[in-house]
Amino acid sequence: MTWQAVARKDFQDAVRSKWLWALSALFVLVFSLPAILQFYLEMGSAPPQGEQGSSDAFIFLMKQGTSVLVPLIAIVLAYASITQERESGSLKLLLSLPHSREDVVFGKVVGRAGVLTLPIVLGFVVAAVLILATSLSFKLANFVLFAVLTVVLGLVFVGLSVGISAAASTGRRAMMSATGAFFMFVILWNAFANQLVNLLDKYVGLADATQLHAVLFLKLLNPTQAYKTLIDSFLLESAVQSRIMMFGFMRQQVAAQTLGESLPVYLSNGFVVSYLLLWLLVSVGVGYWVFENADL
């Protein structure tokens, strides 16, 4: 196994790219903005008595942004990771050395994940420092969990993009597939989940509770939804509450009544984490399989 060498080279190469520094700047800016705003608003005024805010409020706000921004940037960083080398011919150098194609795919996932994780961590560190300077109370555990989940979300989308890049024969195809994947996960998924269950109901006929569970399950298969609900579940300290929040305001009460006190196991946090990681495994696995059998 020589994927470490591939990952290191890939990271070395990317670190010299201006991209990485632009990304870091972007993340730092995005993460620090709410904290700076808070700090600015507080200047000169006494901290409000009684209802003191915490860093959880920051997380609540930020997760909407990160759930779009992190997938987007992961895709941009990684969709060409293999097709670019294939089209330029540097892949020939890589594969003239004793690396298997497995090492190439795995090394790329690790290398690009490193490239994405570095600016994310930097953004979180800066945000933490800024929050400490405000009157918000800093809840370290939640903040760290938020950071870890954000890195995992990034990893899933890096894996997805590297998988696409490995399977695609040209950069153009990789770009189109990756763009499609982004819109599917970030924009179309929920509508698709509702439609599918409606169709099922129309032809098979489902009990209301079954419908609700089915919609919820489909939504949880979306990595960005899984990410958000996992964050909510530790902010609200209730997995059930966080699942209810996945429904629109109108359906929340029905959802609460249907779900009751506890969740079926396939809607539990543990399973949601496994769905998230399944995307990583499946997309890297399928990408590798196609790449392994391709003529280069």
Partner 1 sequence: MAAIEIDGVTKRYGDVVAVRDLSLDIAEGEVFGFLGPNGAGKSTTINMLLDFVRPTEGEIRVLGRDVHDESVAVREHLGVLPEGFSVYDRLTGRQHLEFAIESKDADADPDALLERVGLSGDGDRKAGGYSKGMAQRLVLAMSLVDDPDLLVLDEPSTGLDPNGAKQMREIVREEADRGATVFFSSHILGQVEAVCDRVGILREGELVAEDSIEGLRDAVGSDSTLKVRVDSVPEGVLADLRGIEGVAEVGREDHTLRVTCDSGVKASVITTLESAGAEVEDFEMEESSLEDLFMAYTADKQEVEA
Provide the binding-site residues for partner 1, judged by CB under 8 A: 2, 5, 8-9, 12-13, 16-17, 88-90, 92-93, 95-100, 295-296
Find all residues with CB under 8 Å of 43, minimum gap 6, and list them.
Answer: none
Cβ 100 to partner 1 shortest distance, Å? 5
Q: How far is the CB of 168 from partner 1 (least distance, A)?
A: 17
Which of 218, 221, 239 is CA-nearest to residue 229? 239
What angle do the packed helices 249-259 and 208-220 form, to 10 degrees? 110
Whole-number minimum distance, CB 166 to partner 1, in Å?
15
Q: Is 42 or 102 the residue whose CB approaches partner 1 more closely?
A: 102
| Minimum distance of partner 1 from residue 17's CB (angstroms) | 6
Q: Which residue has the tokens 């070395």?
A: 12
Q: Quote the least distance from Cβ 97 to partner 1, whole Å.
A: 4
> Which residue, 18 or 202, is less far from partner 1 as judged by CB?
18
In whole angstroms, give the CA distance from residue 137 to residue 148.
20
Q: Which is nearer to partner 1, 6 or 131 (CB)?
A: 6
Alpha helices in the chain (DSSP H): 3-15, 18-42, 55-78, 83-88, 90-96, 101-132, 140-167, 171-183, 189-203, 208-220, 223-235, 239-244, 249-259, 269-292
Work out how close the CB of 291 gets to partner 1 at its nearest, in angstroms, rounded to a whole number: 12
Q: In the complex with partner 1, which residue's Cβ is closer, 115 or 136?
A: 115
Contacts of 154 (CB under 8 A, 6+ apart): 70, 71, 73, 74, 113, 116, 117, 120
Q: Of 244, 24, 47, nearest to 135 (Cα)?
A: 47
CB of 51 to partner 1, least distance (A): 51
Closer residue to partner 1, CB minimum distance, 59 or 94: 94
* In the complex, least distance from residue 255 CB atom to partner 1, rounded to whole angstroms: 51
Whether the Cβ atoms of residue 9 and residue 3 lie closer than 8 Å to each other: no
Query: Of 54 and 84, which CB lies nearer to partner 1 in the complex structure?
Result: 84
Residue with Cβ nearer partner 1 (5 or 122): 5
Closest CA to 21 of 59, 79, 77: 77
By C-beta, is 2 or 190 nearer to partner 1?
2
Candidates 218, 227, 219; CA nearest to 70 is 227
Buried-state track 254-281, b at ≥16 Cβ within 10 A, e below 16: ebeebbeeebeeebbbebbeebbbebbe
